[in-house]
Structure 1
Amino acid sequence: MNEDLTATGALVRFALRRDRVKLPIWIGAIGLGMLYAVSALPTVYSTPAERQVRAGLMDSPAAKMMSGPGYGLDNYTLGAMITNEMVLYLAIPAAMMSIFLITRHTRAEEETGRAELIRSAVVGRHAATTAALIVAVIANVGVALLTALAMLSGDLPATDSFAVGAGIGLTGLSFAGIAVVTTQLTEHSRAASSLAMAAVGAAFLLRAIGDVSQPGGTLLSWLSPLAWTQQARPFVDLRGWPLLLSIAVLVVTVVIGYAVSVRRDVGAGLLPPRLGRADAAPSLSTPFGLAVRQQRVSFIGWAIGLFVFAVPMGSLSDSVVDAVADNPQLGEVFTASGQDPVDAFYSTMALFFALLVGAFAVISVLRLRSEERTGHTEAALATSVDRRRWFFAWLGFTTLASAALLVISGLGIGLGAVSGAAGPGTIAELTVGTLAFLPAVMVVAGVAAALFGVRPSASALAWIVVGYAVFFGMFGALLDLPDWVTDLSPFAHTTAAPLANLPVVPLLILTGLAAALAVIGSTTFRHRDIETT
C-alpha cells in the first residue's frame, strides 16, 4: 500500500501551488459570508420580539423547504437564526469547492494526459487521489475555522460555533468523497463533476421534502448530507453524533473509489463510453450544432431538475396565505415591498430559479474555455469557421438554453400553484414573469464571455457575479442592506409578479449591457492567440 502512495507529498505541494489563488477565494468567500451574517443580523433583529417575527416566517413550509427544519423557533436566538437560515447556503459552496477540487486534480489530469505523464515517474497509483483528498481536507479545515471564528466574533457560544464550522467543513468533505467515486465512473471531468453536482441537487431536494413533511424532518432529511449540520441542533440542543455521518460517508466513498480505481486503466472510466455513429450527423457541420451536441445532456439534466424542484415549490403558495392570516406581523413583513404576499412569494421563487439558471449560463459559457484547452477550438478554426461565428454559436446556445430553462421553471412554479387554489391564468403569468429574468441571466453570461475573450484563465471569475447575486438576492432583505448594494446585482431589477409591475426600462438596459459584454468578448477573442494545454 505504501508504494501506491509514493510521491503523495510532492503532488500535495503541486496542487496547493496550482490552487494558491482559487482556494483562498473559496475559503475566504464562505468565511466572509458567515462574518457578514454575524455582523448584520444583530443590527437588523436587535430585540427578541423582532426575532420572533422572523421565526414565524421561518416556520412556514416554504421557508423550511428553502432553509431547513427550523429548530429553536420558540426562542429565536442569533445562533439559531444563523443555523436555520445561513448554514445550508454556506455548506453548498463548501460542497461545490470540494467537488471541483477533487475533479480538477484527478479526472481532469487524466483527461488531458498529464496524469499519464506523471505516472511514468515514480508515483503511486493512489497518490493523485490521496493528494487531492489531503488538499480537500486542508481547504475544508480552513472553511471550518473561518466560519467558527466568524461566529465567535459575534459572542456566540464557542462549542456550538465550532460545531457549526465543523459541520460545514465535514459536509464539504462528504461530497469530496462522492466526487472520488464519480471520477472513477467516467472518462470526462465534466461528466464526473456533473454527477457529483447532481448528488448535491438530490441532497437538497431530499432535505427539502423531508423538512417540510413534518417538524424536525423525516427519514428523507437524514438521507441528505446537507441536513446533518442543522440536525446537530447547535445553539438549541447540541448533539454531535449527526456530524459523524459525514465522516462515515467520506470513509465509505473513499474506500469505494480506491477499490474501483484498480479496476480501470489510466484515462478510462469504469463505465465504457458509448460507441458513436460511423458518420457525423449533418448538424455537426456547424458550430451551433456542435455546441448543442456538446451540451445537450447537461441541458436535459438541468431542465428535469428545475422542473421537478419547481412544482413542489409552487404548490406552497397556499401556505403563505395561511401563514399571513395566522400572523399579522408576518403579513407586514411580506407586504413591506408593496406586493401582495402571494405575489411576493412567486417573485422570490422566480428569483431563486433565475439564479440557478444564471449558474447554468456561466457553466455553458465556460465550455468555450474547455473547448479551447482541449484543442477543439484550434481544430475548428483551422477550417473556414470564423472566430466570431464560433464565439456567437456557443453564446447563442447559452441564450436559447437559458430562456428554455426559465420557461420550464416558471411553468413548474405555475403548475404547482394551480394544484392549490391559484387560478389557471397563474401558469402563463409565472412563465412569462420568470422568463423576464433572461436579460439578467445574459448579463452574467456576458461577463463570463467578456472575461473569456480577454483572458481565458480569468473567465471563472464570472462565478463572483453569481455568488454576489445569490447572497444579496436571497439575503439582502433579511440583512436590511442599502439599496445600492442589492442594485449591483443584475437580478435585482426584475419582479416576476404581477406582470403589470414588470420594469421595461431596466430590462432594456440589462439587454444592452449583455449585448455590449458579448461584443467585448467577441472582439477580444478575435485578436488574441488561441491557448491550449
Structure 2
Amino acid sequence: MSRAQPTSGSGQYRRLIRLVLRRHWLMLGAWLGGLLLLVVITAPAYETTYPELSQRTFMVESLRANTATTLLYGPLPDPGRLGQLLVWETGTYVLVLGALMGILLAVALVRRPEDEGTLELIRSTGTAPWVPAAAALTVLIGQCLTLGGGAGLILWVQAQRIAELTESGAMAFGLLVSAVSLVFALIAVVCCQLAADARTARSWALIVLAAAFLARAVPDATATLDASHRAPVTVLHWISPLGWAQVVAPYTDDQMGPFLAFGAAAVVLLGAGLGLSARREYRSGLLARTRGSSARMRVRSPLAFALRRGVGSWVGWTVAVVGLAALFAGMSSGILELIEGSDATAQIVQQMLGEGSVTSMFFRMTAMFGGILRAIYAVGTVLRVRADEREGLLDVELTTGRRRWEPLVAALLTAAVGSLVMLLLAGGVTALVAQGQLGDEAALDETLGYLVLQWPAALCLAGLATVMVAGLPRLSWLMWALVTVSATLAWLGGLLDPPQWLMDLVVFEHVPDLSVGEPEFWPLGVLAGIGVAGLLVAVPLMRRRDLSRA
C-alpha cells in the first residue's frame, strides 16, 4: 500500500498548482516565449537601423502624420526615442496579445475544467471546494506577473547597453504589461461566472477586449500632441486598459501613481469573480442562456449543419479581417512615403520580404498578416470537431445516421470556403481603399492577388489539422504551435535570419511577387495539394478510430 498523501488544504493547493502547470505548461510557455521574444528583438533592431535620433526624424514625422497609423497605435510622443518607439509600436502588440493571453488562459483554467468534467473528478477525491479556484487563479496571476516582469527585466538589461533606454522606463513598461494582462484575465474570470459555458465566456471577454481597443482608438484618431509634446490623456484612456499606456507613458513620463488605481481595479475584479463564483450553480451561469427559436433547424447535410453553426464565427472573423484590411490600406500612402524616404526602413522591409517594388513589398506584407488571420480561422474551424467530440456533441450528430468522417469533411470545406470568401472581401476592400490613397500607383489586380494567393496556405494548414483530428486527436492542439511558429517566422524570419530550408517550410512565404515578369505559382499548388491530400488521408483514419470524450 502506498503512503497516504497529505489531505490538508495547503497540501491539496500545492499539488493542484503542480497539476495545473503540468497540464498547461506548453500553453503557458508558448505565450511567454513568443511575447518576450518580441520584446527582446525590438530595441536592438531599432538601434541597428536608426542609431541616431536625427536618422529617424523623417520616420517619426511620417508616422505621426498618418491618421490610420495613429488610430492603430496612438500618437507618437516627441522626440521619438527608441524607448518611445518601442512602447508605441511593439508595446501595442504586447499589450493586446497579453490581454488575449489573459482571456484565453482564464477561460482554460477557471471554466473549461468544469465544462469538461475535470473539476468534478478533482472534487470527488475530497479536495476542498476553494482549492481548484485558488490554484487556477494563482497560476493565472503568476503568468501575468511573469510576463510583465520578464518584459521589464529584458528592457532593464538592454538599458545597460542602449543609451536611449532607461531603467525607470523598463520598470514602467513591465508593470504596465502585468496590469493590462491581469485586468483582462480577471474580466474573463467574471465572464466565466456570468456565462453558461466556457465558449460563451470567452466570446464575452473578447467583446470587452474589442470595446477597450475602440475606446482607446476613438480619441486617438484625431489626437495631436499637447504643448509639452506628450500624447493627450482622456477619460476613455483611463477607462480602457489598452489606453493605460498613454496614462503611464513609459520612457516619456514613467508615471507610477496610476498603478495604484490599476491595482485597485484588479482587486475589485478579483473580488467580483470570487463573489459571483460563490453564488453560481455548478456548470451554469448567473445570466440565463438566451433561448433560441423553437423552430427546427432545417439542414439536410453535415455541410449545411457546419455552415449554419459556423456563420456567427465567420461573420465575426470577417468583420475583424476586413476592418484591419481597410486600416492597413488606409496607412498605405504614409507608409510608402516612409519607405521611399528612408533607406533604413526600406532595408528592413527588404529583409522581411525580399526584393521588389516598394508598393509590392507593402501589400505583400499586409497580405501576409491577413493570411495568418485566415489560417487561424481555418484551423480553429477544423479543430472545433475535436471540441465537439470531447463534449459529446459529435456522438449526438452521428446518431442521425451520418458517417463518422462526414462532420470532419464538412468542417474542412467550411474552413476552405469561409476563408476564401473572407479573402475576397478583404482583398476587394484593400484594393478600393488603396486606390483612393494611391490613385494610379495602386495596381488593383496585384493588391487583390496578394491576398487571394494566401488562400492555399490556409487550405494547407486546415488539411493538416484534419489529419491531426482524425489520426492523433489527443495531439491536435499541436496545430496551434505550428501556426504560431509559421506566423512568427513569416513575420520576423528576415530579421532573425533562420536557415533557408526552414523558411521554405513556412506556408505563408510562398506568395510570388506579382510585379515581376514571370511569377512562380507552383509552390501554391503544392500547398493546395497538401490540403487536399490531408482530406484524403483523414477520411480512412476517422473511419478506423474510436471516438473519445477524454
Offset at residue 16 of structure 1 (A): 2.8
Once residues 59 and 478 of structure 1 are traced to their aligned partners in structure 2, the CA distance between those partners, rounded to angstroms, is 25
Does 1:445 pair with 2:473? Answer: no
Structure 1 contact 26–97 (Cα < 8 Å) conserved:
yes
Counterpart of 2:154 in structure 1 is 150
Structure 1 contact 447–517 (Cα < 8 Å) conserved:
yes
The one of 344, 358, 361 aligned to 2:378: 361
Once residues 407 and 399 of structure 1 are traced to their aligned partners in structure 2, the CA distance between those partners, rounded to angstroms, is 12
Structure 1 contact 449–518 (Cα < 8 Å) conserved:
yes
Once residues 41 and 483 of structure 1 are traced to their aligned partners in structure 2, the CA distance between those partners, rounded to angstroms, is 24
Does 1:237 pair with 2:253? Answer: yes
**Counterpart residue identity of residue 319, structure 1:** G
**Counterpart residue identity of residue 92, structure 1:** V
Please give the residue correspondences for 1:73-472 in structure 2 after superposition, counting only pairs within 5 Å. 74-77=79-82, 79-115=83-119, 128-154=132-158, 155=160, 157-215=166-224, 216=231, 219=234, 220-229=236-245, 231-244=247-260, 246-276=262-292, 280-283=296-299, 285-320=300-335, 323=338, 327=341, 329=343, 332=346, 336=350, 338-381=355-398, 384-418=401-435, 420=437, 422=439, 430-472=447-489
Once residues 320 and 24 of structure 1 are traced to their aligned partners in structure 2, the CA distance between those partners, rounded to angstroms, is 34
Q: Which moved more, 1:63-72 or 1:163-172?
A: 63-72
Once residues 457 and 305 of structure 1 are traced to their aligned partners in structure 2, the CA distance between those partners, rounded to angstroms, is 30
Unaligned runs of 5+ in 1: none
Structure 1 contact 291–397 (Cα < 8 Å) conserved:
yes
Structure 2 contact 376–483 (Cα < 8 Å) conserved:
yes
**Counterpart residue identity of residue 451, structure 1:** M
Counterpart of 1:16 in structure 2 is 21
Question: What's the RMSD between the two structures over aligned residues?
Answer: 3.8
Offset at residue 200 of structure 1 (A): 2.8
Residues 331/101 of structure 1: CA separation in 2 closer, same or farther (3 Å cut): closer
Structure 1 contact 291–394 (Cα < 8 Å) conserved:
yes
Structure 1 contact 5–130 (Cα < 8 Å) conserved:
no
Once residues 392 and 61 of structure 2 are traced to their aligned partners in structure 1, the CA distance between those partners, rounded to angstroms, is 55
**Counterpart residue identity of residue 87, structure 2:** T
Please state whether the residue corresponding to 1:88 is helix, strand or coil.
helix
Once residues 488 and 42 of structure 1 are traced to their aligned partners in structure 2, the CA distance between those partners, rounded to angstroms, is 30
Please state whether the residue corresponding to 1:20 is helix, strand or coil.
helix
Structure 1 contact 41–479 (Cα < 8 Å) conserved:
no
Q: Deviations over 1:222-243 (max 9, x none)?
A: 5432342465332333222454
Once residues 247 and 433 of structure 1 are traced to their aligned partners in structure 2, the CA distance between those partners, rounded to angstroms, is 45
Offset at residue 266 of structure 1 (A): 2.0
Unaligned runs of 5+ in 2: 1-8, 225-230
Offset at residue 332 of structure 1 (A): 4.7
Counterpart of 1:69 in structure 2 is 75
Offset at residue 14 of structure 1 (A): 3.8
**Counterpart residue identity of residue 145, structure 2:** V
Structure 2 contact 110–133 (Cα < 8 Å) conserved:
yes
**Counterpart residue identity of residue 103, structure 2:** I
Once residues 231 and 402 of structure 1 are traced to their aligned partners in structure 2, the CA distance between those partners, rounded to angstroms, is 38
Structure 2 contact 405–543 (Cα < 8 Å) conserved:
yes
Once residues 247 and 263 of structure 2 are traced to their aligned partners in structure 1, the CA distance between those partners, rounded to angstroms, is 15
Q: Which moved more, 1:507-516 or 1:366-375?
A: 507-516
Offset at residue 289 of structure 1 (A): 2.5
Structure 2 contact 322–426 (Cα < 8 Å) conserved:
yes
Residues 144/334 of structure 1: CA separation in 2 closer, same or farther (3 Å cut): closer
Q: Which moved more, 1:176-185 or 1:107-116?
A: 107-116
Once residues 387 and 514 of structure 2 are traced to their aligned partners in structure 1, the CA distance between those partners, rounded to angstroms, is 38
Q: Deviations over 1:404-441 (max 9, x none)?
A: 22223223333433554646996676444422211112
Counterpart of 1:532 in structure 2 is 549
Once residues 287 and 452 of structure 2 are traced to their aligned partners in structure 1, the CA distance between those partners, rounded to angstroms, is 38
Q: Deviations over 1:96-127 (max 9, x none)?
A: 33222221233223323444565678667665
Once residues 427 and 309 of structure 2 are traced to their aligned partners in structure 1, the CA distance between those partners, rounded to angstroms, is 26
Offset at residue 532 of structure 1 (A): 0.9
Once residues 346 and 40 of structure 2 are traced to their aligned partners in structure 1, the CA distance between those partners, rounded to angstroms, is 28
Offset at residue 395 of structure 1 (A): 0.9
Aligned length, in residue pairs = 526
**Counterpart residue identity of residue 192, structure 2:** T
Does 1:32 pair with 2:34? Answer: no
Offset at residue 531 of structure 1 (A): 2.1
What's the TM-score once normalised by structure 1's chain length? 0.84
Offset at residue 176 of structure 1 (A): 0.4
Once residues 143 and 264 of structure 2 are traced to their aligned partners in structure 1, the CA distance between those partners, rounded to angstroms, is 19
Structure 1 contact 6–123 (Cα < 8 Å) conserved:
no
Structure 2 contact 385–407 (Cα < 8 Å) conserved:
no
Once residues 89 and 57 of structure 1 are traced to their aligned partners in structure 2, the CA distance between those partners, rounded to angstroms, is 20
Once residues 23 and 332 of structure 1 are traced to their aligned partners in structure 2, the CA distance between those partners, rounded to angstroms, is 36
**Counterpart residue identity of residue 408, structure 1:** L
Please state whether the residue corresponding to 1:281 is helix, strand or coil.
coil
Structure 2 contact 512–521 (Cα < 8 Å) conserved:
no
Structure 2 contact 110–137 (Cα < 8 Å) conserved:
no
**Counterpart residue identity of residue 151, structure 2:** T
Residues 244/13 of structure 1: CA separation in 2 closer, same or farther (3 Å cut): same
